[in-house]
Copies of this chain bind each other. A is one copy, B any other.
Amino acid sequence: MNIGIVGLGLIGGSLGLDLRAQGHQVFGVSRREQTCKAAIKTGVVDHASVNLTLLAAADVVFICTPIAAITSTVNLLIPHLSTTAIVTDVGSVKAPVVEALAHLWPNFVGGHPMAGTADSGLEAAQPHLFAGKPYVLTPNETTSPDAVKTVEEIVRSLHAQVYHCRPEEHDRAVGWISHLPVIVSASLIAACLSENDYAVVDLARQLASSGFRDTSRVGGGNPELGVMMARYNRSELLRSLYQYRQNLDRFIGQIEQGDWEALEQQLQRTQHARPQFVSNKDA
Contacts and interface: CB of A to CB of B under 8 A. Distances in A.
Which of A163, A208, A266 has its CB near the most chain B CB atoms (within 10 A)? A208
A24 interface: no
Contacts of A174: 204, 207
Tell me if A's interface is mostly helix, strand, loop or mixed: helix
Interface string A221-243: 11110110011001001101111
B172 A114 contact: no
Given A114-B209, A177-B208, A223-B264, A193 B269 contact: yes
Number of copies: 2
Interface string A174-194: 101110111111111111111
Nearest to A278: B213
Contacts of A227: 260, 263-264, 267
A160 B195 CA distance: 27
Interface string A202-216: 011111111111111
A72 interface: no
Nearest to A191: B244
